Structures are given as C-alpha cells and as structure tokens.
Amino acid sequence: MTAEHEHWISAIDYTALGDRLKAYRIGASLQAEDIAAQLGVSRAVVYRMEKGEIVKIETLERLAHVLGTSLASLLGVEAEYYPTALGLFERMRQLESASDRILAHFEPISLLLTSDAYLQHLRAMLHEGAPRAGKGTQAADIEAMLLILAERRAFFEKRKPHIISLIGLRELERFVHTGLVGRVDLPEDIRSARVQAARHEVLRIAELMESEPLHVQIGLVDDAMPSSTFQVLSGPQHSVLATSPFRLGELPNVRNGIATVTAAPEAVRMHSDLMIRLWKTAYKGKSGAQRLRKLVERI
C-alpha cells in the first residue's frame, strides 16, 4: 500500500451520516426493527449504521426511500428536510451535544433557557392543541418529543455551551397576555394559572439577564422578528443552520411544517450576520431585565 493510500480520508462523515439516519428514523416514528425488516437486515445492523459504520451505497439508497428522503440529504451534501417536529428535535439534540456556540432565535423564548416546570406545561399545551382524531398516536409522539426536549435541556445545563439568544419584545408581550395554553377556550381558572406560568418564564429570563451567567447572553429586540425561528450551531467539526416552522410557546405547533438543516456556508453566514446586526441594538443586561419586569407589570 502506498503512502497516499495510507493517508486517504473519506470525504463522508459517517458519524454525521449515522446521526441523520437516526433523526430521520425517529421523525418517521419507526423503530430500528421496522427499518431492519424493510431492508432485510438485523436490528443490530441498523444500530451499527446509526453509530457511523460504513454503509453500502445501495443500502443508503434503499434507506432514503424507506425514510422518505433523498440520498443527497442523508449524505449531507444538500439541505436536510424534516416534515415532523420529532425528527427535527432529535437532530437538534445531536447538533447541540457537539456544539460550543449557539445563536438562537426561537419564538417566544429558547427551550434551552426555560424553567424546569416548562416541559410539564408544554405537555398539557400539546394535548390541548391536538386534533381530536388519532389521539393515541399523537399522545405517543408527544411523549417522545418531551423526552428528547428534556435530554436537550439536561445536556445544555450540564455542558453549558455558549448561547446568544435574541427575543422579540412583541412576541413576549403576546406570550404573557395569552399564557401557556394549547387553545384559547380553556376554563378561566386554568387560563389564569397558565398566564401566571408565562409570567414566571419571562421573569426567569429577566433573572438570567441580571445575573449574566458566562455562557448565556440574551438580547431583547424592539422590532419585528423573523417569521421563522432558527439556530446557528457551531462546534469543532461543524457550523450548521437549523430553521423551523415549529413552535413551543403559546398555541404551539408541532405538526405542520417543514424544517431544514443545512451546512451551506452562505446560509450560515447570512443568519449569523442577521443575529449580529440585531444584537447590536438589542436591550441587554440589567436594563433589558428592567424592561421585561415592566412588561410583566403592565399586562
């Protein structure tokens, strides 16, 4: 074997490929044995593929068909598309676990900065907002989503990657006014309790702005925010943009929309530049916290 062959490195990141396979599988609500049965392989083979073991191109083509995506998306040479919130949340869990910096715009606030009680309220909101038909399947999907979201929050608290989060004041005002509800026709006592829960979350953001932990920076934007939420995630091996139509605030949406994940340099750069521009004029620190407290008092 020549020295050239000894030092050859594949252009395919098999670990990232395995992560994408798992995210697409979870997003399709498929178990490893479901994939194995359709491919005619063992469940162990599917798990090995998701851990980044080399896969034959014919197997990848069949996998793409089973998972409802393209070979190019699996290989990461074009945007990844996620038609379910479940698949997107798993992919973001993977990316966040390998990121040192996160630029976040999520409406109304980033899940990573919410209180410990937020996921319990979110469970109630998702059940309230679910269509009446197909309730059993939706209940299972909701629990699967909450498990992934809890893992994301726990990892963030443990690893403490640097996050810069931009929050729109208009979105927060609507959030406090509406409350943590899945629909608006709730009994008055429940609605009142959910408004108090939303106020608690906003006051938590105010406390974070006042205390200014080293890994958290929050900016309040008194202007119209982008209609789609996004995160730019950066680590030693990646710089990726995730955009999402799904939202976890008041009147949440986890069913309808197409999310994208891309490493395209232009997309990453333009969204990073947008964050930097909005950050320059955002309210920060104690002055920002004071504006939040006045907002809560006013509503």
Mutual orientation of helices 285-298 and 188-211 as an angle, nearest 10°? 160
| Residue 280 buriedness (CB in 10 A; 0-12 / 13-18 / 19+) | exposed
29 — alpha (psi -120 to 50), left (phi > 0) or beta? Answer: left
**In whole angstroms, what is the distance from residue 138 CA to residue 194 CA?**
22
Domains and CATH numbers, the chain: 1-78 (1.10.260.40), 79-298 (3.30.870.10)
| pTM of structure | 0.86
- Name the one residue in this structure whose structure tokens are 């068909």: 65
pLDDT tens, N- to C-terminus, the chain (299 residues): 454 445 545 567 888 888 999 999 999 989 999 999 998 888 898 989 889 887 788 888 888 888 888 888 888 777 999 999 999 999 999 999 999 999 999 888 899 999 999 999 999 999 999 887 555 558 889 999 999 999 999 999 999 999 999 999 999 999 999 999 999 999 999 999 999 999 999 999 999 999 999 999 999 999 989 888 999 999 988 899 999 999 999 999 998 999 999 999 999 999 999 999 999 999 999 999 999 999 999 88
Contact 197, 116 (CB under 8 A): no
**CA 280, 281, 286 angle in degrees (round to 5)?**
95
